[in-house]
Amino acid sequence: MNRRELNAGALAAAAGLLNSGSAAAAEPSPQGSAARSGPLQIGLLMYPGFFAQDLVGPYTVFGNMPNTQVHLVSKTLGPVTAVPALTMHPTATYETCPRDLDLIMAPGGVESTVAAMQDPDLIAFVRDRGSRARFVTSVCTGSLILGATGLLKGYRATSHWLARDVLKEFGASYAPGRVVIDRNRITGGGVTAGLDFGLTVAGILIGKEQAEAIQLVHEYNPEPPFQAGSPETAPPEITARVRRIFAPSTEHMRLAAVRIAAQPGF
Amino acid sequence: MNRRELNAGALAAAAGLLNSGSAAAAEPSPQGSAARSGPLQIGLLMYPGFFAQDLVGPYTVFGNMPNTQVHLVSKTLGPVTAVPALTMHPTATYETCPRDLDLIMAPGGVESTVAAMQDPDLIAFVRDRGSRARFVTSVCTGSLILGATGLLKGYRATSHWLARDVLKEFGASYAPGRVVIDRNRITGGGVTAGLDFGLTVAGILIGKEQAEAIQLVHEYNPEPPFQAGSPETAPPEITARVRRIFAPSTEHMRLAAVRIAAQPGF
């Protein structure tokens, strides 16, 4: 087996070749922050019970960007089990993750996210890195974690469709859209929106042409076999049933948000 | 944190509730094999350097199907590092994986897949379980692993677009389509096709209504920001560049296939 296959750099190295003869330049950051030297620094958060797809979708894109270091960040370097059950290893801790990130991303979950929103260490980490990062981002209910840090106050954002109404508790306003960009906050919809989010971000960070190459390498040419991907398009009885099943968890998210936003200093 | 979040059963339990009041029944298997009693048994193959998204996409669907056990199968229970760099833990070995599976799935990779095609233990395992499984399936270049077992001889199949031409070396015929079904062989296109593949399979195994609920829970309502998901739709210069970058690996796949198909008894 080719040893390079085991590195995030494997396809990134290939993607790097895309630079050859290409005039594509990264677009300027919406916040116009000064360009850093060295590789792009990206931090993807891991916590017990996060949705594997929320992280793997964007990582599939970011892990193949040229001149990019991706850090999988958790409280410790111990294994973290996602949903569905998949035990993975972080590569950095809250302490060892670079202080200055180009992008930080929080994935979502269900009750696990309610717990993460109320984990002081996790929130302190995301608030700290987020306060300096060029881009503060999330996929799915990860936006509730951003909300809990206060970093979405006064911003438009999205979340998993079941959690849309929770955003306002944090002073954010829900905006429709698969990927919502408001200044340097970029939030994606539920779970699978992470692929659209990742490519959108890649377009901003490394330019459209390179993002298109990454899309082609991963044959992202989706053809869902059913029309049930959103509450607006799914059969109404399916939407009602899913809403009913998740009603307790949605209420847990809202109650946690209300509690967090009521804390002094929020 | 809710302990149940850590189990593949977390959302499966929720999805199980979808049964309530639902008349949806699983459609009969195309090969009409006898229904097994007990939970559906699904084996997802892991090997060093496989594409994380190839497995996590379908697992996001299968891991949330009611009454389903998913086994993440590798040579040993030691950690396996995917591409991009993500170290994960299998849950079963070639020895401990159930003998009779409802479905076996091989994910793809690049040079890692060339190695997997030529790994006698891996091939013996896939051939053994595949010879009895209700469905023999793959995502991306995983179809070359199926090809190497001989299980695609005389079948229509697909693969990652870069590897389409390799299928014929194994006596399979390439068929266009995001997901190709020929009797009990179900093959998906490159990487992200795993989501479409997973939902298609869920529709067959547990019925359309439950598959739609899983699609809605994961908000699979894709909106790629660019039109570059296939060699037919991407800008021609992007397709040409990606093809050039991967030409050596594509040739390694073809040469390995020719070698394997020339072995006595293939």
SS (H, E, C) chain A: CCHHHHCCHHHHHHHHHCCCCCCCCCCCCCCCCCCCCCCEEEEEECCCCCEHHHHHHHHHHHCCCCCEEEEEEECCCCCEEEECCEEECCCEECCCCCCCCCEEEECCCCHHHHHHHCCHHHHHHHHHHHHHCCEEEECCCHHHHHHHHCCCCCCEECCCHHHHHHHHHHCCEECCCCEEEECCEEEECCCCHHHHHHHHHHHHHHCHHHHHHHHHHCCCCCCCCCCCCCCCCCCHHHHHHHHHHHHHHHHHHHHHHHHHHCCCCC
Structure token pair of residue A240: 């009602």
Percent of residues, chain B, with pLDDT higher than 90: 86
Rounded CA-CA distance B136/A227 in Å is: 26
Res. B35 pLDDT band, cuts 50 70 90? low
pLDDT at B33: 46
Convert the pLDDT of each residue in B165-202 to its tens digit: 999 999 999 999 999 999 999 999 999 999 999 999 99
| pLDDT of residue B16 exceeding 60 | no
A96 in contact with B at a CB cutoff of 8 Å? no
Nearest residue of A to residue B7, measured between CA atoms: A85
Rounded CA-CA distance B50/B142 in Å is: 9
The HSE-up count of residue A236 (CA atoms within 13 Å, CB side) is 0
Determine phi and psi for A187, rounding to 5 degrees: -120, 140
Res. A1 pLDDT band, cuts 50 70 90? very low
Res. A26 pLDDT band, cuts 50 70 90? very low
Q: Counting one residue from A and one from B, how many pairs have CB atoms under 8 Å apart? A: 300
Please give the ipTM for the structure prediction. Answer: 0.89
Residue closest to A139 by CA, chosen among A248, A77, A60 = A60
Could you tell me if A127 and A149 are in contact, meaning their C-beta atoms sit under 8 angstroms apart?
yes
Rounded CA-CA distance B217/A266 in Å is: 31
Structure token pair of residue B93: 């070995």
Q: Do A86 and B59 touch (CB under 8 A)?
A: yes
**Lowest-confidence range among A202-206, A225-229, B6-10?**
B6-10
Decide if B140 is catalytic: yes
In single-letter form, the type of residue at position B180 comes to: V
Could you tell me if A71 and A41 are in contact, meaning their C-beta atoms sit under 8 angstroms apart?
yes
Rounded CA-CA distance A109/A118 in Å is: 14
pLDDT at A37: 73
A216 in contact with B at a CB cutoff of 8 Å? yes
pLDDT at B32: 40
pLDDT at B263: 95
| pLDDT of residue B79 exceeding 90 | yes
Convert the pLDDT of each residue in B206-242 to its tens digit: 999 999 999 999 999 999 999 999 999 999 999 999 9
Rounded CA-CA distance B230/B74 in Å is: 31
**Lowest-confidence range among A33-42, B19-28, B162-171?**
B19-28
Mean per-residue pLDDT over chain A, rounded: 90
Percent of residues, chain A, with pLDDT higher than 70: 86
The answer for residues whose C-beta is within 8 angstroms of residue A266's C-beta and 6 or more apart is A150, A260
Residue closest to A55 by CA, chosen among A26, A29, A90 = A90
pLDDT at B37: 73
Q: What angle do CA B207, B211, B217 make, to 5 degrees?
A: 155
Greater model confidence, B33 or B59: B59
Strands A80-82, A86-88: parallel, antiparallel or unpaired by DSSP?
A: antiparallel
Q: For an interface test with A, give the residue of B3, B40, B60, B186 to mutate (most A CBs within 10 A).
A: B60
| pLDDT of residue B44 exceeding 50 | yes
**Lowest-confidence range among A186-195, B11-20, B51-60, B197-206?**
B11-20
Mean per-residue pLDDT over chain B, rounded: 90
pLDDT at B3: 35
Convert the pLDDT of each residue in B96-118 to its tens digit: 999 999 999 999 999 999 999 99
Res. A32 pLDDT band, cuts 50 70 90? very low
Res. B66 pLDDT band, cuts 50 70 90? very high
Residue closest to B196 by CA, chosen among B169, B165, B229, B173 = B229
Contacts of B209 in chain A (CB under 8 A): 238
Rounded to the nearest angstrom, the minimum Cα separation between B210 and chain A is 9
